[in-house]
């Protein structure tokens, strides 16, 4: 390992010189392939912390898909159903637990994950490397790689794919320092431990939190700890299914994340699963086409006649009524918020996306209204007392 690493440039090509370095000791990362940049390392170091904490909290192999210093997806390595395999486009290849975790993390929001940075809590194996190889991705960080996995990854991007190995035992200094406009900022590292002890204070009439809901709430909260604030995350089946990041208004976070969760569920509908795609369509074009098909704009695409670019025959329109009927079947969703809900409108929006469990800090002057709104829909809500802002 080295003490410093020169980078091509900073956030933008005009921002030179650029490097990462340690004031004391050596860098905890080693570049095994490629040449990661400034934003790559921001994604790598944030995503590594997320997956490390996810594994510590759940005991399961964990993965994340990062874009611009926020997760597009995060998940633990539970087995995939046939429908999940279909919507994540894994094919019928073998999937180890860590490969399942990455398939879930990458597949939650495929539009946002395009060109992602991947993070793995465990050693990257052949199954995971083969999944990553199929996708448009900038790089991966993991505590290690099997020889076979590393050789697979080295063939990606004409040999330039970024592969970073991190020391899993590395512990950062207690104080964090950064500079903005020549001014230094210092704060203690966010060492708050997110575990089931934060899920004890259920403030609603419904006190029931099944084990799966607890797991999903922990996944949502740990994901939020490394998401640009304000942020809200929806989770189900051991994975985040919608992230709303960096919004100034909390209800806009809830709407944005809810829209992504809806998209995830709509992709599992028979109408989407049975779309007659052309065999030669590229993966990214297929993802974009599915997004357009689900959207309200698809009527225009059909009328324009461009369906022939993507399908072997013209699909019928996915009507608003059909979509709503399918969405009404989604339930058991967990939601985490990095700060308190100021109004009950957040709960109203969350309910439309099947949310049954909520974890948030509490502390709003309108907490009574938020609790009352939860009680109206039978939602169980926890006040965890912990704000998770990340900037």
Catalytic residues: 67-68, 230, 391
**194 closest CA partner among 230, 225, 169, 168:** 225
Query: Residue holding tokens 């919608």?
Result: 242
d(CA 241, CA 259) in angstroms, rounded, equals: 10
Measured in degrees and rounded to the nearest 5, phi and psi for residue 126 equal -60, -45
Residue 90 has which token pair?
């894994």
Across 43-65, b (16+ Cβ under 10 Å) vs e yields bbbbbbbbbbbbbebbebbbbbb
**226 closest CA partner among 250, 246, 256:** 246
**Alpha carbon distances (Å) from 325 to 109, 296, 349, 356:** 22, 16, 16, 18
- Beta carbons of 240 and 253 less than 8 angstroms apart: no
Burial class of 350 by CB neighbour count within 10 A (0 to 12, 13 to 18, 19+): buried
Residue 148 has which token pair?
């076979």
Burial class of 219 by CB neighbour count within 10 A (0 to 12, 13 to 18, 19+): buried
Three-state secondary-structure class, residue 76:
strand
Bridge partners of 162?
139
């Amino acid at each position: 390992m080295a003490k410093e690493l020169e980078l091509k440039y900073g956030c933008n090509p005009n921002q030179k010189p650029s490097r990462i370095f340690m004031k004391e000791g050596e860098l905890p990362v080693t570049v095994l392939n490629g040449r990661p940049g400034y934003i790559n390392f921001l994604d790598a170091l944030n995503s590594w912390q997320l997956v490390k904490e996810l594994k510590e909290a759940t005991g399961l192999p964990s993965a994340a898909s990062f874009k611009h210093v926020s997760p597009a997806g995060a998940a633990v390595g539970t087995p995939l159903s046939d429908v999940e395999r279909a919507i994540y486009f894994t094919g019928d290849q073998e999937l180890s637990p860590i490969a399942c975790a990455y398939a879930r993390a990458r597949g939650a929001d495929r539009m946002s994950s395009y060109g992602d940075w991947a993070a793995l809590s465990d050693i990257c194996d052949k199954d995971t490397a083969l999944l990553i190889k199929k996708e448009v991705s900038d790089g991966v960080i993991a505590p290690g790689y099997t020889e076979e996995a590393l050789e697979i990854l080295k063939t990606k991007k004409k040999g330039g794919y970024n592969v970073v190995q991190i020391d899993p035992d590395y512990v950062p200094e207690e104080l964090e320092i950064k500079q903005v406009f020549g001014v230094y900022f210092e704060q203690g590292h966010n060492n708050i431990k997110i575990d089931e002890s934060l899920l004890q204070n259920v403030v609603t009439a419904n006190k029931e939190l099944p084990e799966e809901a607890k797991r999903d709430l922990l996944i949502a909260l740990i994901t939020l700890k490394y998401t640009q604030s304000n942020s809200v995350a929806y989770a189900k089946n051991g994975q985040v299914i919608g992230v709303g990041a960096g919004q100034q208004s909390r209800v806009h976070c809830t709407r944005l994340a809810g829209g992504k969760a809806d998209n995830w569920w709509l992709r599992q509908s028979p109408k989407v699963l049975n779309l007659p795609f052309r065999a030669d369509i590229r993966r990214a074009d297929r993802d974009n086409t599915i997004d357009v098909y689900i959207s309200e704009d698809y009527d225009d695409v059909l009328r324009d006649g461009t369906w022939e670019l993507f399908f072997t025959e013209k699909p019928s329109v996915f009507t608003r009524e059909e979509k709503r009927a399918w969405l009404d079947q989604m339930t058991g969703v967990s939601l985490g918020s990095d700060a308190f809900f100021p109004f009950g409108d957040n709960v109203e929006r969350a309910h439309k996306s099947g949310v049954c469990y909520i974890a948030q800090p509490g502390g709003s002057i309108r907490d009574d209204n938020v609790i009352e709104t939860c009680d109206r829909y039978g939602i169980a809500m926890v006040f965890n007392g912990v704000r998770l802002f990340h900037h």
